Structures are given as C-alpha cells and as structure tokens.
Amino acid sequence: MGRKRRSPSQECGGPEHAISRRLFLQGAALGAASSTLSFNNLFATPAITKQIKSGQKRCILLWLTGAPSQFETWDPKPNTRTGGPFKSIPTNIPGTHISELMPYCAKMMDRFAVIRSMKTDSKVHANAIENLTRGDLPRPPFTRPVLGSVVSDSLGQPASGMPGFVLLDPNAEGNEFKRFKAGNFNGWLDAQHAPVRTGGTYRIANAFRPEGISEKEFKERETLRAFLSQQYETERQSRLAAGHNAAFDRVQGMMSSASLFEIDRLSKRDQLRYGPGAFGLHVLLARHLIENDTNFVMVANGMPWDTHNYNHEVHQLLVPEFDRVLSNLITDLEERGMLENTLVIAMGEFGRSPWLSATAGRDHYCNAWSMAMAGCGIRGGVVHGATDELGVEVVTEPVDERRLFATIFTALGIDPHAEYDFKGKVMPNFHRVEDKAEPVREVLA
Amino acid sequence: MWNAHAMPIFTEHCVECHGSPKRKNGLDLRSLEGVLRGGDNGEVVVPGHPELSALYEMVQPGADTDMPPKDKQLPSREIKILGQWIRSLNSEPAESGWSAQTSTSSPGGIISTATARFSSNKWMPPSGVSPTLAIDMLMEAAWQSREIKPAPLCDDATFARRAYLDIAGRIPTRSEAQRFLKSTHSDKRDRLIDQLLDSPDYAYHFRDVFDTALMDVPSYEFANKVAKDISGLPEEEKINAPGMTPERWLDRQRERQGWLDYLHNVFAQNRPWDEVVYELLLARPEDEARRGANWFLFERADDHEAVTDAVSSSLFGVQVECAQCHDHPLAPEILQGHYWGLNAVFSRSKNQMTALGPALGESAVGKFVSYTNVQGESFDATLNFLGGVSIPQKRTESKEATDDDYFVPLAEKNQTADRASLPKYSRRQAGVDAITENNPLIARAFVNRVWALLLGRGFVHPVDQMDSVHPPSHPELLDWLSQDFASNGYDIKRLVSAIARSRVYQLDATPESPSNDPSHFAHAHEKPLNANAFYHSVFVAVNDAAPDTSSRSPLELRQIFPSPFSETHTSTLAEAMFLSNNSMMEEILTSAKDPAPEVLSNPKSSESLIRKTFGRVFGRDPKPEELKHVTNYFSVRSDRPQQAYRQLLWAMTTSAEFRANH
C-alpha cells in the first residue's frame, strides 16, 4: 500500500489559490463539507476486490483535447526565451523537474514515465486527433480503429455485461473534436468495439425499463422471448438467431450497470476531490467504471487546452486542476491495488509552440512535445527523450505515433505487431502497429 | 482455378510488390492476363509446365532468387497448388471474372448438355425465354454441376410471409394470408406476386430500401455541410432549432426537399431504371415533379470525392475509393483514371438554392482535373468510367466566364435565382452521357442488388464490389439477367417479378446439406428485416390490420438496424436495448385491442387465441411445446391476463424468428 500522503484537495496550498478567487472560494467551501462525509470512503472501495485480483488489465486515457503545453507541464524551460513565466520544481526523482503548476504529480514522479520527445505528423487538430487516437496516419479508404476499440477487442468483452470501451465527454458539440466523435471509432473492428458514449448530452440509450412495466414483468417476458427465440435458433441452426439471442443476453447486465454511470451516486467526498469541473468528475467516473469491470475509458474534455490566446493565464487555471485530478486518480488506483493492472495515459493530440502568438498564446506544435503514463506495465520515475534548450526540437530519442502505440500495447500485454485477421475479407495486411515499430523499452517495466 | 485457387495466393503473398502501385520487375500478379504476360525479364509461367516456370522455381524454399523475399516463405501446400494450377493452364480455357463487356448470348442446346459442360463453356438460355425460366435453367445447371441437392419448395404460408416482406415490406394480416392459403388457383403464387407489386406498399418499401442504398442513414457530417446550402426554412425546421439533431434534420430534409417522393414515384410508376440513373447523375430533371432527383447529389454538399464514391458504389456497384491515389491494388481493371474521370464529371457542379428548391448549378470554366500517380507522373483526366465511353475534358481558353458562356448565368452569391446556372457547354452533361451510354454496369449493378434483396446475398457479394476480385457466383445468369433487364426497358417490376417467381426464390430455408456454401443458393437465406419492414410488421402482428406503409420508423431504429445490403449481419446490444426499452415498442403494443379477460381465462378460447396469434405473427401453427409453454404462462399470470397477452406479443415480435425473413 502506498505511503500516507495528504490527498490533494482544494483546501491546501496549491498554486491555484493564487489565481482564482472564485475557485478558491468554491474549493474552501467544498473542502469543509468533505470532512463530514469522508466516512463514505470506508464503504466505497473494497466491494470490488475480486475483480482487482483477477489481474485483468485496464486502461484510462485522459484525452486533453486541444493540446496542453509541454512548457507548462512536463518539460519546463524556465528562464529562457521560450519558457514562459512559470518556474520548475524538483520532483521526488532527483534531477527531474516539472512545472511548478504540478506540485502533486511532482511528489509522485516515481509513478510516472514521461516522454519528452514526442515528434508527430500533424499540427492540425482534426488530423492529429485521428492520428494520435488511432496510432497511425490515415490510409483511406480503410479506417484504423481507435485505441479504445483495439484494447476492447484485445482484452475481450467483460463477462459482467459492462461495456469494454466507454467514452466520457462533457461536450457533445462545438469543437474540433466533434468530427472525431461523429466518425468511425471501431474502424475495421466489429461494431461492438465502438464506445458506449455518455457524459454531457449523451446518455446510454434505452437503458431504463419502459414505464408501466414492472421489473417482474420485464423478466418474465424476456424469459418467454428467450424460450421462443432459442427454439428457432436450435431448430434452424441459425447464425442470425444466435447473434440476436446473444445480444439480448447482455441487455439485463447493461441495464443493471447503467446506474454505475451516474456520477451523483458516487461518494460526495470523491466528487469533491475530483470536481467540480466536468473533466475531474468524468475521471472519477472512469475510475469507478474501471473498478466495475470496464476495460477502457477515454475521458475527453472539450477544447480548453487550445490556448492561442493568453496561454499562460489559461494554463495557470487548467494545469493545477489537471495536476490534482491526475494525482488523485493515481493515488486511488494505488490504494485499491489496481494501479499495477491499470494503465493511465495523459496526452493531447500535440503540444504547443515555443514562441508566443500576437495574442500571447502558444500555437499548435507537433515537432517536440510531451506526454505521460503511469501504472500497468510502466516503469515509474523515467523521463524518456529530451528537447533542446528552447524546446524547439527533439534532441534525443524521438517518438512518433507508431512507437507510442507500440509502447502502450506492450505495457498492456498486447502484442503490438500482431496482424489483423479479416476472416477472409479482402483487405491489405494491417497490424496493430505497422512496420514492427519498436516500443520505447526505457519506459516499460 | 485462377479465381478459386491461384489468385488468393498471389493476393496474399505477392501483389503488395507485384501489383499496383508497386510493380517490381514490371510484373503484375493481380490478374491471369498479368501473370501470363510476365515481367521485364520475360514470361514467368509456362502454361502446363511448372518445372519450366520461373515463378514456380522462385517460390521453392532456398531458391537462388527466393520469393517472397526475406524470410517469408509460401507454405508447401500453396506451392503445390501453384504447381497444379500451372499444369492445368494448358487445358483450361481462359476465364475472366470481368464479364460485363465480354458476355455473349449464344444459342443454347437443351439443359442436359449445358449441365455437362457448365464449368467450361458459357451456355446461355436462348433469348426469348422468360427470365424466370432462364433463372430456373441456369440455377438447375449450376446445382447439378456442383452436385448439390437444393432444398424443396417452401410451403404456402412461408411463401406468403416471405413475399409480403420482400415485396410489400410487411407481414400479411391474418385475412390476407388466409385468402392466399385458401385460393385454389394453381398459379396463386404468381398472382400474389403481381398483386403485391401493384400494391401501394411495394412502392413505399422500395422507396425506403433504395433511400438506404443510395443515401445511407443521414450523417452528422453531411447534415452540417448541406445545412449551409439550404435557405428558406421556417425557424422550427432549422438545423439548430431546439431539440433538433443534425441527423434528424437531414432525415427531414429528404422528405421536405422531395427526395422521398421522387423515389416513391420511381417505383409507383415503375420508371425505367436507366432513366432514373441518368436523372440522378445529371440533376436537371425535365419535369418539375422530378425535382427531388437533385437531392442525390445535393446532399453530398459539393464534396466531389463523396459524390464519386457514392455514384460508383450505389449505381455502378464498384468501390473506387482506393483508385484516388493509385490503380486498384487487387482489381487490375479499376484504374486511377476511372476515379478521376468520374470525379471530373461532377467537379464543376455547385449546390444552388433556387426559388424552386435545391438544384445543381455548374460553372462554365475552371476545375480542369488532372491527377498524379504514385510514381509522380501527371495525367489529364478524361470524362469516363468503367464500362462507359471516354471523352476528353475541354480546355477553356479564358479563366473567366462571361454571360455568353451560359444559358442561365452563374448566380451571384446570396442571390436566389429561379434556376441553377447552366453553361452552354456542360461538362456534367457530356460526362454523364459518356459514363451512362451503353454502360452494362448500370443493369448489372441493379440486377445484382435486387437479387441480393430477394435472395439474401448478391451474385457478387458484397453488392458494391463488383470487381475482378469478387467474381459472381453465377456469371452466366448475372449476364443473362442484366442483358434481359436492359433490353426490356430496365423494367424494375418485371425483374422483381421474374426473380420472385423462380424456383430458387421459393426454396425452403432448411438446407439439404448443412455445409452448403451460401453462394450456391441451395436453400432460402435468412434476411434480417430492415427497420421500416420491422416497424410495419410489428404493427400488423399487434393489430392484425394493414399498416400505413407511407410512414417510416423512428430514425433511431433505422440508425440501429443494419442496411439490408450489408456484407454480414450482426445483431448489436444497441438493437436489443432498443427492442427491450424504447417507447416505440410500447406504443405499438398498447395500440392493440386487448382480448377480453374471459377469453384468456378459459382454456379452450385461450388455446384458440394462441393459435391465431402464432398464425398471424409467425405465419405458422404453434408447436406443442410452445402451446404448452404459453398456456402455462397465461395461467400463471391469470391475475393480469391482458398484460400477459401483450408480453406474449412483445416476446414474439422481438424473437429471432420475427426479426428475419426466411
């Protein structure tokens, strides 16, 4: 079990106090409330130990849409022309510094592997989102499945009836990410590997019993349906019927798990630790879903990171929240004994430019940026690759889309180079990662 | 043997380097012609003599030039197959999966001689026989040559359900089924087919099927694009109106802008399919009543790549997306020039909102289409597409058009004209003429699609990949039916009727031998109902009354149920969740007239009700164990008999048996 660590909540002295009086007030008020409710936590964790022990691997992807700045997070360049106003602080790994906006993660740097030498193909949101969620450049007309679909396919459908892949997103409309969300998630994999989407305006469709039908009646009629349908399946040896009946077999599991998606039902203390923002609450929900047998949760958060204007001010608001939420997530997973089987990934689609725009923003930048991972299969306390003094170019060990995905798959125990089996369908040869791209061994446990 | 044995080996191991775009050593192993032609160093295969064939030598383990290169090695089984195939080349007449242009109709002998030589000789039924007879003769010949015993004909009740679902898009009411079953006419199946083809249900059903085939379910992406081109909508009909989603908005535009009415009239008036194709492509209908044809191109919102893909796959039955960058890697007949030739036909077109509705304008100048292959060579596109004729693009001297270049000038921005711009020389007109003139693919693609709709899979499967990689299961029959369709005025009802009357359509669903390859059509395949057919059939099952088939199911159901033309059918959790919990089912179920409580409490009348219900919903009698199970269900729930009856209807209509047409 992890050492005693003060759980970061808004009541203590983080840099966010300096910036937003509104947040501070909210934080203080909520912090006070949290102490009276904290006993909830005693009951909130242990019920799920049997799944933890099963060793099933899982993954949470914190998808920082819009792309955060590496300068204000994992790769600070203080006192340089490009570094911006924030200082760097030491971490619990001697010699490794990160931005002062991330004090909590700094204290648990031994859990994280950071890649500072991301060098990717596109600095256009729509294209980079595609490339970094699918792990390769497009090859029309074929659509490579997104990471969550591949992991869901590779790890198998949870027996509990929980979905293998969930996408949480507060923002249904109105940003660059929307094309991705309207697009084809599962690509050439079966439709069952598309995500169940919820959050914001999304709800799991048709998850609640129709009005006027009691639970008893609901079960009775399903039993009758199954009897009639099974008769037909057996008599005809029907594949259509087999698929049809198998889908119905999953309905009640899905319905009984629908309440697991209600953030309001989670402990108030946890809501305070992760909230009040939608991103934090969705990360909490992700933890909860992973505890309850979902394999992969992608948490996306609109476009706040796209800081073409006032980069420093916006990062001063956003990074402390990110730091708090991410460190709470790692702590919680560790306390539950789940971190060693749960891979946590935090990244955007690219980084931000060393130079400032006319409106004091940082623009898109894909030549040298950073991302972080922790947990399953990851060697903590490692920084891989480096950028030059001003953060303009990668100077050692560049990592592209393919190598990153090879690393993620390897960390999850999934063969990164396996060829897809299209079961006789005429397709070119595709692999989880093409051209035998090498995983980044240094960050792997 | 090429298609069945040799080609798959080359496809898997060789064409990545010896095909397109890579063609190492000048060798193209995608087609039989290419293999026989050889490479830069001469021939690689000596027909009849594997031992003299360079290709055969190179695939041996440890050969001097070992192919495939590096550590890859063909399995010995496949090397053996290649040897056998090369040996067979002397005796086997050249075959080609691409028979559209080579099909010939030769006067045939009697069916037995045809059968004997079926696999090596293209025997065709004589012209003048009915298409149903041609189907029967050629299917029979194919079964015999493959030594397959087809299933027997299905019984009348099964036929009635099947024909109603396929032609009218719903199951029959009890009295409709009874009328058919009691008929003593020896040709009563033919009569039912005719009756259904003349019913209003037919035109609505085919409208909905072809809405999906030509347009797909409304997409978020095109909704947002085309919304910018539509003006004059009332506030509550706008894409950003409260409660509107982009998909639902687009679905409503298909109604509002005349597309669904247009499609309905195509089938209600049985218009010739070649005329329809021409109208869809040209988007300048002569008759105002056909204005809805414009929507086929208009919805694609000036995305000429999307237009190219939609036209090729939905009207010509081929997918050419990959030929955007290079010749097709596996199907050598599909060239990059075809993609850009088709693209050039439409690339001057522009959506224009006229006073009369959406229309496709065209510029008189500009957009000269050329393309570059992966070797970096550049080519001018000519207006052409597979199977059609080819004409060059006209170069225009000036970059700026004047009013003299137009019959109807290009409208200024934001100005709503009566008519869309029409140049004196219309490249779209010239191109559409070129790609449709005597193009056999238009008939072939349509015949294959209707066959797939009625038989559960196409001769070519999937229906939008009619290329040399996907040879037809019955090439002679596809050729014959396509020619017959074309030479009989592209008469859609005649085609549907001919197929529905054939023996193969009327086979029972239980196979004689369980291992039957589905492409043999030796028994009836299960066909999942499309969303609208399901919706209307649930209504009939519950109310025992004819539904209003002009209405459509909720959009959500159409988004969840797969297209009837998808390559494989997979039931999803979303579908099961919808059928379990969505209010649509409850609304239909509660519309039923509940039987009186005493009917259900009395064992005799209860049994008779169960029998009637099975007859109506499943088109058959209950089996003894089913009768027992349901009777027991009623007796346990005697405190709430009417709900229990409703639950029975729910359980039956959501069962796999109801979900499929079989």
* Token pair in block for residue A51: 């799944």
Best probe of the A interface among B12, B221, B580, B586, by most A CBs < 10 A, is B580
* Whether pLDDT at B602 is above 90: no
Question: Which candidate from B330, B571, B582 shows the least CB-CB separation from A426?
Answer: B330
* Whether pLDDT at A302 is above 60: yes
pLDDT of A176 reads: 52
Q: How close are the terminal C-alpha atoms of chain A, in Å?
A: 19
* Whether pLDDT at B443 is above 80: yes
* Whether pLDDT at A157 is above 80: no
CA distance A417 to A165: 22
How does DSSP assign A12-30, residue by residue? S--THHHH-HHHHHHHHHH
Q: Which comes out higher in pLDDT, residue B61 or B223? A: B223
What pLDDT digit, counting tens, does each position of B222-241 carry?
A: 998 999 999 889 999 999 99
Which has the closest alpha carbon to A372: A421, A324, A443?
A443
CB atoms A232 and B572 under 8 Å: no
CA distance B542 to chain A (A): 16
Question: Is-contact A66 A303, C-beta < 8 A?
Answer: yes
- Mean pLDDT comparison of B26-40, B75-89, B600-614, highest-scoring range: B600-614
* Whether pLDDT at B347 is above 50: yes
pLDDT of B167 reads: 98
CA distance B217 to B206: 15
3-class DSSP state for residue A381? coil
pLDDT of B517 reads: 85
* Token pair in block for residue B531: 């969303």
Question: Which candidate from A213, A228, A428 shows the least CB-CB separation from B651?
Answer: A228
Question: Which candidate from B510, B656, B660 shows the least CB-CB separation from A245?
Answer: B656
Where residue A15 falls among pLDDT bands split at 50, 70, 90?
very low
* Whether pLDDT at A238 is above 80: yes
Best probe of the A interface among B325, B571, B585, B643, by most A CBs < 10 A, is B571
CB atoms B660 and A240 under 8 Å: yes
SS3 breakdown of chain B: % helix, strand, coil, rounded to 5? 50, 5, 45
CB atoms A192 and B526 under 8 Å: no
Where residue B581 falls among pLDDT bands split at 50, 70, 90?
very high
Question: Which candidate from A206, A232, A429 shows the least CB-CB separation from B656?
Answer: A232
pLDDT of A36 reads: 25
Q: Looking at the DSSP assignment, which residues form a beta bridge with residue A142?
A: A139
Strands B349-354 and A394-396, by their bridges, are unpaired
The answer to which of A164-178, A373-387, B178-192 has the lowest mean pLDDT is: A164-178
Mean pLDDT in residue range A346-350: 96
The percent of residues above 90 in pLDDT, for chain A, comes to 60
CA distance B524 to B510: 7
Question: Is-contact A375 A330, C-beta < 8 A?
Answer: yes
Question: Which candidate from A221, A224, A229 shows the least CB-CB separation from B657?
Answer: A229
pLDDT of B96 reads: 38
B629 touches chain A (CB under 8 A): yes
Nearest CA in chain A to B330: A426
Nearest CA in chain A to B630: A224
pLDDT of B99 reads: 34
Per residue, what are the HEC states of A286-349?
HHHHHHCCCCEEEEECCCCCCCCECHHHHHHHHHHHHHHHHHHHHHHHHHCCCHHHEEEEEECC
Which residues of chain A have a CB within 8 Å of the CB of B569? 240, 243
Nearest CA in chain B to A255: B577
Q: Which comes out higher in pLDDT, residue B644 or A256? A: B644
Question: Which candidate from A221, A228, A244 shows the least CB-CB separation from B571?
Answer: A244
The answer to which of B200-209, B272-281, B555-564 has the lowest mean pLDDT is: B555-564
- Mean pLDDT comparison of A107-121, A276-290, B136-150, B379-393, highest-scoring range: A107-121
With a threshold of 0.80, does the pTM exceed it?
no
Which residues of chain A have a CB within 8 Å of the CB of B324? 140
Residue type, A156: G
Mean pLDDT in residue range A105-125: 96
Contacts A–B by Cβ distance under 8 A: 135
Nearest CA in chain A to B306: A141
Quickly list H helices, A156-263.
177-182, 215-236, 239-249, 251-257
CB atoms B581 and A225 under 8 Å: no
Question: Is-contact A152 A409, C-beta < 8 A?
Answer: no
Chain center to CA of B149: 28
Mean pLDDT in residue range A426-444: 93
The answer to which of B155-169, B392-406, B461-475 has the lowest mean pLDDT is: B392-406
* Average pLDDT value for chain A: 84
Mean pLDDT in residue range B399-416: 73
CA distance B144 to B138: 10
pLDDT of B311 reads: 96
CB atoms B572 and A191 under 8 Å: yes
pLDDT of A39 reads: 27
* Whether pLDDT at B379 is above 80: yes
Nearest CA in chain A to B220: A182
Which residues of chain A have a CB within 8 Å of the CB of B648? 221, 224
Q: Which comes out higher in pLDDT, residue B319 or B296? A: B296
* Whether pLDDT at A45 is above 70: no
Which has the closest alpha carbon to A178: A193, A148, A200?
A200
CA distance A228 to B622: 10
Which residues of chain A have a CB within 8 Å of the CB of B567? 425
Strands B378-380 and A362-365, by their bridges, are unpaired
For chain A, the residue count is: 445
Where residue A10 falls among pLDDT bands split at 50, 70, 90?
very low
The CA-atom distances, in angstroms, between A121 and each of A131, A402, A416, A441 are 8, 11, 20, 22
Task: Give B413's contacts (C-beta < 8 A, 6+ positions apart).
Answer: none
Best probe of the A interface among B16, B240, B334, B581, by most A CBs < 10 A, is B581
* Whether pLDDT at A43 is above 50: no
CB atoms B654 and A192 under 8 Å: no
For chain B, the residue count is: 662
CB atoms A212 and B586 under 8 Å: yes
- Mean pLDDT comparison of A42-51, A431-440, B120-129, highest-scoring range: A431-440
Residue window 441-500, chain B: list those with CB within 8 Å of chain A.
469-470
* Token pair in block for residue A427: 């397709």
CA distance B462 to B87: 32
pLDDT of A291 reads: 92
Which residues of chain B have a CB within 8 Å of the CB of A218? 580
Mean pLDDT in residue range A125-139: 92
Nearest CA in chain A to B219: A182
Sign of CA pseudo-dihedral B136, B137, B140, B145: negative
Mean pLDDT in residue range B287-310: 94
* Whether pLDDT at B418 is above 80: no
Which has the closest alpha carbon to A70: A120, A20, A21, A107?
A120
pLDDT of B162 reads: 98
Best probe of the B interface among A248, A249, A256, A434, by most B CBs < 10 A, is A248
Mean pLDDT in residue range A148-155: 94
pLDDT of B631 reads: 92
CA distance B546 to B170: 9
Question: Which candidate from B321, B510, B575 shows the least CB-CB separation from A141?
Answer: B321
CA distance B323 to B321: 5
Best probe of the B interface among A240, A250, A294, A423, by most B CBs < 10 A, is A240
CA distance A97 to chain B (A): 44
What pLDDT digit, counting tens, does each position of A388-411 carry?
A: 999 999 999 999 999 999 999 999
Which residues of chain B have a CB within 8 Å of the CB of A428? 16, 329
* Token pair in block for residue A131: 């490339």
Where residue A42 falls among pLDDT bands split at 50, 70, 90?
very low
Question: Is-contact B19 B25, C-beta < 8 A?
Answer: no
CB atoms B625 and A231 under 8 Å: yes
CB atoms B573 and A210 under 8 Å: no
B263 touches chain A (CB under 8 A): no
CA distance A284 to A275: 8
CB atoms B573 and A251 under 8 Å: yes
φ and ψ of B383, to 5 deg: -70, 110
CA distance B417 to chain A (A): 33
* Whether pLDDT at B586 is above 80: yes
ipTM of this complex: 0.81
Question: Which candidate from B573, B581, B652 shows the least CB-CB separation from A247?
Answer: B573
The percent of residues above 90 in pLDDT, for chain B, comes to 56
* Whether pLDDT at A303 is above 90: no
Where residue B540 falls among pLDDT bands split at 50, 70, 90?
very high
* Token pair in block for residue B423: 């140049």
Residue window 311-370, chain B: list those with CB within 8 Å of chain A.
319, 321-322, 324, 329-330
Tokens 């910018």, residue?
A: B228
CA distance B170 to B538: 9
CB atoms A206 and B580 under 8 Å: yes
φ and ψ of B420, to 5 deg: -75, 155
What pLDDT digit, counting tens, does each position of B265-293 carry?
A: 999 999 999 999 999 999 998 888 899 99
* Whether pLDDT at A170 is above 90: no
CB atoms A182 and B221 under 8 Å: yes
CB atoms A240 and B571 under 8 Å: yes
* Token pair in block for residue B477: 């029959």
* Average pLDDT value for chain B: 88
Sign of CA pseudo-dihedral A439, A440, A442, A445: negative
Mean pLDDT in residue range A43-65: 64
Where residue B541 falls among pLDDT bands split at 50, 70, 90?
very high
Residue window 19-48, chain B: list those with CB within 8 Å of chain A.
none
Which residues of chain A have a CB within 8 Å of the CB of B633? 220, 224
State the CB neighbour count (10 A cutoff) for residue B80.
12
CA distance B23 to B16: 8
The percent of residues above 70 in pLDDT, for chain A, comes to 83
pLDDT of A54 reads: 56
B639 touches chain A (CB under 8 A): no
pLDDT of B91 reads: 56
* Whether pLDDT at A215 is above 70: yes
B379 touches chain A (CB under 8 A): no
The answer to which of A39-43, A183-187, B17-21, B331-335 has the lowest mean pLDDT is: A39-43
Residue type, A192: Q
Question: Which candidate from B329, B571, B650 shows the least CB-CB separation from A243?
Answer: B571
Nearest CA in chain B to A242: B656
Mean pLDDT in residue range B647-656: 96
Burial of B211-248, coded b for 16+ CB within 10 Å and e otherwise, reads bbbbbebbbbbbbbbbbeebeeeeeeeebeeeeebbbb
Quickly list H helices, B456-509.
475-487, 492-501
Mean pLDDT in residue range A241-245: 90
Nearest CA in chain B to A251: B577
